[in-house]
Amino acid sequence: MIPYGRQDVTDADIAAVVAVLRSEFLTQGPEVPKFEAAVSAYCGSGYAVAVSNATAALHLACLALEVGRGDRVWTSPISFVASANCALYCGADIDFVDVEPESGNLSVSKLADKLRHARAAGTLPKVVIPVHLCGRPCDLVSIHALSREFGFRILEDASHAIGARYLDGPIGNCRYSDAAVFSFHPVKVMTTGEGGMFVTNDATLAARVVRTRNHGITRQPEEMTRPPDGPWYYQQIDLGYNYRMTDIQAALGSSQLTRLDAAIAHRNRLAERYDKLLAGLPLELPPRAMHQISAMHLYIVRLVSPSVIGAHRAIFESMREAGIGVNLHYIPIHLQPYYQQHGFSAATFPEAERFYSRAISLPMYPTLTEEEQDLVVRGLKNAILAHSR
Ligand SMILES: *Cc1c(COP(=O)(O)O)cnc(C)c1O
CA of 83, closest atom in ligand 1: 11
Catalytic residue among 34, 114, 126, 188: 188
- Identify which of 4, 55, 88, 190 to mutate to test ligand 1's pocket (most ligand atoms within 8 A of the CB): 55
Amino acid identity of 77?
P
Ligand 1 center to 233 CA (angstroms) = 36
Predicted confidence at residue 309, as pLDDT, reads 84
Q: Between the CA of residue 125 and those of 70, 146, 179, 191, 288, what are the distances in Å?
A: 10, 12, 16, 32, 30
* CA 67/CA 78 separation, integer angstroms: 22
Strands, sheet with 292-293, edge to edge from the N-terminal-most edge strand: 169-170, 165-166, 292-293
Predicted confidence at residue 72, as pLDDT, reads 98
Angle between helices 247-257 and 31-43 (to 10 degrees): 30
Ligand 1 center to 195 CA (angstroms) = 10
Mean pLDDT per 10-residue segment, the chain (389 residues): 96 98 97 98 98 98 98 98 98 98 98 98 98 98 98 98 97 98 98 98 98 97 95 96 98 98 97 97 93 97 91 96 96 98 92 97 97 97 92
Give the side-chain half-sphere CA count within 13 A for 182: 34
**CA nearest ligand 1 atom 6, residue:** 54
Predicted confidence at residue 42, as pLDDT, reads 98
CA of 79, closest atom in ligand 1: 13
* CA 242/CA 48 separation, integer angstroms: 17
Predicted confidence at residue 347, as pLDDT, reads 87
- Identify which of 159, 190, 213 to mutate to test ligand 1's pocket (most ligand atoms within 8 A of the CB): 159
CA of 55, closest atom in ligand 1: 9
- Identify which of 60, 83, 252 to mutate to test ligand 1's pocket (most ligand atoms within 8 A of the CB): 83
Ligand 1 center to 67 CA (angstroms) = 20
Ligand 1 cavity residues, CB under 6 Å: 53-55, 79-80, 82-83, 131, 157, 159-160, 183, 185, 196
Ligand 1 center to 196 CA (angstroms) = 9
Burial class (CB in 10 A: 0-12, 13-18, 19+), 309: middle
Predicted confidence at residue 185, as pLDDT, reads 98
Give the list of residues 6+ apart from residue 225 with CB closer than 8 angstroms, or none.
235, 237
Active site residue 188: yes
Give the list of residues 6+ apart from residue 296 with CB closer than 8 angstroms, or none.
134, 135, 264, 267, 268, 270, 271, 364
CA of 56, closest atom in ligand 1: 9
Contact 115, 127 (CB under 8 A): no
Ligand 1 center to 280 CA (angstroms) = 33
CA of 196, closest atom in ligand 1: 7
Specify the 3-state DSSP secondary structure of 235.
strand
Contact 350, 107 (CB under 8 A): no
* CA 361/CA 326 separation, integer angstroms: 6
Ligand 1 center to 19 CA (angstroms) = 28
Nearest to 101 by CA among 65, 140, 128, 133: 133
- Identify which of 131, 157, 183 to mutate to test ligand 1's pocket (most ligand atoms within 8 A of the CB): 183
Ligand 1 center to 135 CA (angstroms) = 12
Predicted confidence at residue 289, as pLDDT, reads 87
Q: Between the CA of residue 193 and those of 180, 245, 357, what are the distances in Å?
A: 20, 10, 31
